[in-house]
Homo-oligomer: A and B are copies of this chain.
Amino acid sequence: MSRTVFFVSDGTGITAETLGHALLTQFAGLEFQQFRLPFIDTEEKAREAVAQINHQAVEDGNCPLVFTTMINTVLAEIINGGQCKVFDLFSEFIQPLEKQLGVKAQPSVGAAHSNSDTESYEARMEATNYALTHDDGMSINFANADLILVGVSRSGKTPTCLYLALHFGIKAANYPLTDDDMDASQLPKFLLQNKNKLVGLTIDPERLSQIRMTRKPDSRYSSLRQCRYEVESAESLLRLAGVPIMRTTNSSVEEIASRIVSEKNIQKPHF
């Protein structure tokens, strides 16, 4: 049996969805049908949202779960009037926070994901451009890199670099080890010269072969034999140079990125 869940917000809904989703993953066996209702920022939209929730309640024969981060209390009340169980992620915490901080909150819709801080916005944009121009070994001038991800082709370097840029404003280059690199006795000089910036990504050869198959089926590139050879060579070169190695096989992009930030102890401004 599937339960219906709504994420309702007068802003983007990103916060409601992130916490709601994290809570729901703690109920592993259950299935949830999920709907986002962002930008519910007028009374009319709030009433439309309630109509949709109530319609679902009748269809499901039980009341939907609603995770909200409404700032506007009038709109929050309208949502509370629906046939649903509301989890209000803000109201639970605002009062104890006010007590701790000794001041009243100044409600500001969408502030969490607005672009109030132009400087940090520009840092993220600059980092994204950096990732795009230093992707896949395109440039090996690493003077301005915060990090350089090294690994075999399809080990997850590009999405990780983009995530590091978009979320943390970190300039991450990436370099794919070539056949020549893997036949050598050590990592290329232009990498070793930047040893403190290096992070190795690796992946189980079986999974790598699967991923490569979807691109080039039945090729040497995607064969398990070749994948095993490349992964072994890459790992041994990285170990020899004392580069930290992250396994990407069962990790999401955000998990790998968070581990890298934590491992390299990078404290960037918060966005």
Contacts and interface: CB of A to CB of B under 8 A. Distances in A.
Interface residues of A, number: 75
Given A15-B22, A166-B166, A39 B259 contact: yes
15 contacts: A14-B258, A15-B19, A22-B111, A22-B112, A27-B105, A29-B103, A30-B101, A35-B267, A110-B255, A113-B252, A114-B251, A114-B252, A121-B252, A162-B166, A252-B271
A78 to B, nearest CB: 19
Interface string A83-94: 001010110111
Given A65-B100, A159-B166, A25 B112 contact: yes
Interface of A: 3, 11-15, 17-19, 21-23, 25-30, 34-36, 38-39, 65, 69, 71, 85, 87, 89-90, 92-94, 96-97, 100-101, 103, 105-108, 110-115, 121-122, 124-125, 128-129, 132, 135, 158-159, 162-163, 166, 214, 250-255, 258-259, 261-262, 267, 270-271
Nearest to A131: B162
A159 B262 contact: no
B18 A94 contact: no
B270 A34 contact: yes
B270 A90 contact: no
A14 B18 contact: yes
B71 A26 contact: yes
A15 B23 CA distance: 10
Contacts of A27: 97, 101, 103, 105-106
A106 B27 CA distance: 6
Nearest to A162: B162
A258 B96 CA distance: 30
Given A18-B14, A254-B14, A90 B159 contact: no
Contacts of A107: 26
A32 B111 CA distance: 15
Q: Closest 10 interchain pairs by CB?
A: A22-B112, A12-B258, A25-B111, A26-B105, A115-B252, A15-B22, A18-B18, A113-B254, A28-B106, A19-B19
